[in-house]
């Protein structure tokens, strides 16, 4: 069951290229973005609008409410079923996104470590909860593993204690207690990666943040909180949302929040590029403001060669 992955750092322009490719190749798009799964979170996640979709079918968007959790395993299960359904209709599955954990889980799978229990550590944390209260225990977890804390209820002492126990035993948050499976030779998958010069990409990131702010991102965060979404929810830990929550709590100014959002997004892009560089299957295509038509032509050619069974180079880097 062949499918194509179109990956790359945030703000590089994956969505517009993917939509054009989908129109030309009778493809349907599966978003591999860990933030676009959330309903009501539209501006800060950069969701494509119905108008921008241009009639192309999209999956992986608006799957859960902002106060719900959604794991890598949840995504992989959903993605495999969706890809199979698209292929059954004789359309090309086109997986698009920058959440590298989602992509790696889909392509190679993840194995989760089994961490043995420590009765003494567990007893220490249970005593801590008894002496200081459940909220204090929960805050201890939030300090070291906010993602796990976000998916646990403050009253779920047993699981909060277990998460703290895992952190103390391994030195890693429970949310990261997985091991990568080796890169597999996937003859049924084509991995294309869009990238661009650093200054160009960073300028696009800054511009996109400014456009999101002008579109009402702060009001979106305000509405989410007013609707009862906890600021500690997994969804609210995303870049931009957590900084704007701090603005609404009067901890930092709006100007400071915007600076932090841009900085943190640039850092995210750098991590995404570094992660994708490690994948020997990636075929890289250079992007810039004037290259979209050319990029679509390049990508379409590679996809058609892949579907025809023509072997493509394992590594093909864009110019630095």
Distance CA 170, CA 144 (A): 12
Which one-letter DSSP state was computed for residue 318? P
| Token pair for 186 | 């996937």
Phi–psi pair at 38, nearest 5 degrees: -90, 130
The answer on whether 13 is annotated among ligand-binding residues is yes
Judged by DSSP in three states, 45 sits in: coil
Q: What is the dihedral of CA 199, 319, 45, 249, to 10 degrees?
A: -30
Judged by DSSP in three states, 319 sits in: coil
Which contacts qualify for 197-205: CB closer than 8 Å, 24 or more apart? 197/288, 200/287, 200/288, 200/289, 201/9, 201/11, 201/12, 201/269, 202/266, 202/269, 204/11, 204/12, 204/13, 205/10, 205/11, 205/262, 205/265, 205/266, 205/269
The answer on whether 15 is annotated among ligand-binding residues is yes
| Token pair for 258 | 């915007």
In contact, 176 and 164? CB cutoff 8 Å: no
The answer on whether 12 is annotated among ligand-binding residues is yes
Binding residue numbers for substrate = 10-15
Q: Which residues sit in the known binding site?
A: 8-15
List binding-site positions for ATP.
8-15
């Amino acid at each position: 069951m062949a499918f194509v992955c179109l990956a790359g750092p945030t703000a590089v322009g994956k969505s517009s290229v993917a939509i054009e490719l989908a129109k030309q190749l009778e493809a349907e798009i599966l978003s591999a973005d860990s933030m676009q799964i959330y309903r009501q979170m539209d501006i800060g996640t950069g969701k494509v609008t119905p108008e921008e979709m241009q009639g192309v079918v999209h999956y992986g968007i608006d799957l859960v409410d902002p106060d719900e959790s959604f794991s890598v395993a949840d995504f992989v299960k959903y993605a495999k079923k969706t890809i199979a359904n698209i292929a059954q209709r004789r359309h090309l599955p086109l997986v698009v996104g920058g959440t590298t954990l989602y992509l790696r889980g889909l392509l190679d799978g993840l194995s989760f470590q089994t961490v043995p229990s420590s009765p003494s550590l567990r007893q220490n944390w249970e005593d801590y909860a008894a002496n200081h209260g459940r909220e204090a225990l929960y805050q201890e977890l939030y300090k070291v593993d906010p993602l796990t804390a976000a998916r646990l209820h403050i009253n779920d002492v047993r699981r909060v204690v277990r998460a703290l126990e895992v952190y103390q035993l391994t030195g890693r948050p429970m949310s990261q207690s997985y091991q990568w499976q080796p890169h597999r030779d996937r003859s049924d998958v084509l991995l294309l990666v869009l990238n661009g010069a650093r200054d160009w990409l960073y300028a696009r990131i800054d511009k996109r943040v400014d456009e999101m702010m002008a579109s009402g991102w702060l009001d979106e965060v305000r509405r989410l909180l007013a609707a009862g979404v906890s600021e500690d929810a997994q969804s609210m830990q995303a870049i931009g949302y957590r900084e704007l929550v701090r603005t609404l709590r009067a901890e930092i100014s709006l100007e400071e929040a915007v600076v932090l959002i841009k900085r943190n997004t640039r850092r995210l892009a750098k991590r995404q590029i570094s992660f994708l560089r490690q994948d020997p299957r990636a075929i890289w295509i250079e992007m810039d403001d004037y290259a979209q038509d050319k990029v679509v032509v390049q990508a379409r050619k590679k996809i058609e060669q892949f579907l025809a069974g023509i072997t493509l180079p394992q590594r093909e880097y864009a110019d630095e």
